[in-house]
Copies of this chain bind each other. A is one copy, B any other.
Amino acid sequence: MSDKTKILNVELGDKSYPIYIGIDLLSMKSLFVDQIQGRQVMIVTNKTIAPLYLDKLTSILDGFNVQSVILPDGEEFKTLETLNKVFDALLEAKFDRTSTLIALGGGVIGDITGFAAASYQRGVGFIQVPTTLLSQVDSSVGGKTGINHELGKNMIGAFYQPKAVIIDVNTLDTLSNQEFSAGMAEVIKYGLLGNADFLSMLEANIESIMARKKDLIIEVIFNCCQDKARIVELDEFEKGKRALLNLGHTFGHGIENAFGYGNYLHGEAVSIGMVMAAKLSKDEGNLSHEETLRVESILSKADLPISINKTIDSETLITAMSLDKKSIDGKIRLVLLKSLGDSYLTDSYSNENFMKVVNSFCQ
């Protein structure tokens, strides 16, 4: 293990686990072996990632009964049907309750694999090996797993913690610029919602980060995972503070639901959603105009959209937002900003201000 490798522990009692962040960790056999209980290992990946990293991961697991299942790539396949393909593979291989699942891929693979691990024989072990920036800084940490339903995203799932998260930043080499930017939306989110120092660090180094300088990327991912871990430790099941991680997500999920899969990447929709949240926060009297410009500026520098560049009416967007899980008894709850680096969950914002912001983003 290179001395540049960083290790972070997520402290959740008997569900605690380590996060490793470093260069070429996919070659570090012991990192994996230490987390595998039995002899049966199922690698779950997709058609894009399999040709890049599946052989490499399989080869270091010699001595285990390693099987793999290769799913189609894309959020539109995060369904019950795809989940069932994982169960098919496990049962066809006659894997028992000592088996371990490895999620090798982005957020969709991690979410499906985690839920499969939570549900197969009522729970087997799993390891997250996130290969996109988005999943490395967000979805692979914290134990949220699940699939979409045609009536809403992430509606079916489980809170289920991995045995470990192994983040090999070399996998970012094969990520498209668009996917890298989408990940940056979640990176910037941590700055906005609770870490003003980190936001300043991002603003100061955005060009080098976008150039994917590895030492800096490791630092950035470590910061994000640390912020997320501290929140998850306080509120594993999202009864309170964890909801702050949804900054930009209720608007963002609305945009994703309304336009359907393939129009906006998750991170892109979240980017627009964070701008909407910032503008509503300004109208609620919390942020200055200059601060909202700072939000737009850092997102733009990360090559992210800050407005909806397609036609949608307000009613469609609001209906799509109200399907979001954060909605309680029909009311739309939102994460808003008190200042840059300080957020809160509320449903007591002015409806007039809310409509004004929604209307200004719709046409």
A149: contacting residue among B39, B87, B96, B115, CB under 8 A: B87
CB-CB contacts of A306-337 with B at 8 A, as 1s and 0s? 00000000000000001101011110000000
Closest to A327 in B: B96
A146 to B96, CA, bound (A): 16
CB-CB contacts of A130-156 with B at 8 A, as 1s and 0s? 000000000000001110010110011
Residues of A within 8 Å of B, CB-based: how many?
40
Among A38, A152, A156, A330, the most chain B Cβ lie within 10 Å of the Cβ of A156
Q: Check A121 for interface membership: any CB of B closer than 8 A.
A: yes
Residues on B with C-beta less than 8 A from A98 are: 328-329
- Check B328–A121 contact: CB distance below 8 A: no
Q: Check A64 for interface membership: any CB of B closer than 8 A.
A: no
A238 to B155, CA, bound (A): 28
Q: Check A84 for interface membership: any CB of B closer than 8 A.
A: yes
A92 to B152, CA, bound (A): 10
A interface, over-half SS: mixed
**Nearest Cβ distance between residue A124 and chain B, in whole angstroms?**
11
Residues on B with C-beta less than 8 A from A330 are: 94, 96
A86 to B285, CA, bound (A): 43
Q: Check A212 for interface membership: any CB of B closer than 8 A.
A: no
Residues on B with C-beta less than 8 A from A354 are: none
Given contacts A84-B80, A91-B149, A152-B91, contact A122 B329 (CB under 8 A): no
**Which 3 A-B pairs give the minimum distances between C-beta atoms?**
A91-B151, A122-B157, A119-B156
Other than A80-B80, A120-B156, give 17 A-B pairs with Cβ distance below 8 A.
Answer: A38-B329, A39-B329, A40-B329, A94-B322, A94-B323, A94-B330, A96-B327, A96-B328, A96-B330, A97-B325, A97-B328, A98-B329, A119-B119, A119-B146, A120-B155, A122-B238, A158-B158
Can you pick out 19 interface pairs between chain A and chain B where the beta carbons lie within 8 Å of each other?
Answer: A87-B149, A87-B156, A91-B149, A91-B151, A91-B155, A94-B323, A96-B329, A98-B328, A119-B119, A119-B146, A119-B156, A120-B155, A121-B156, A122-B144, A122-B145, A122-B146, A122-B158, A122-B238, A123-B158
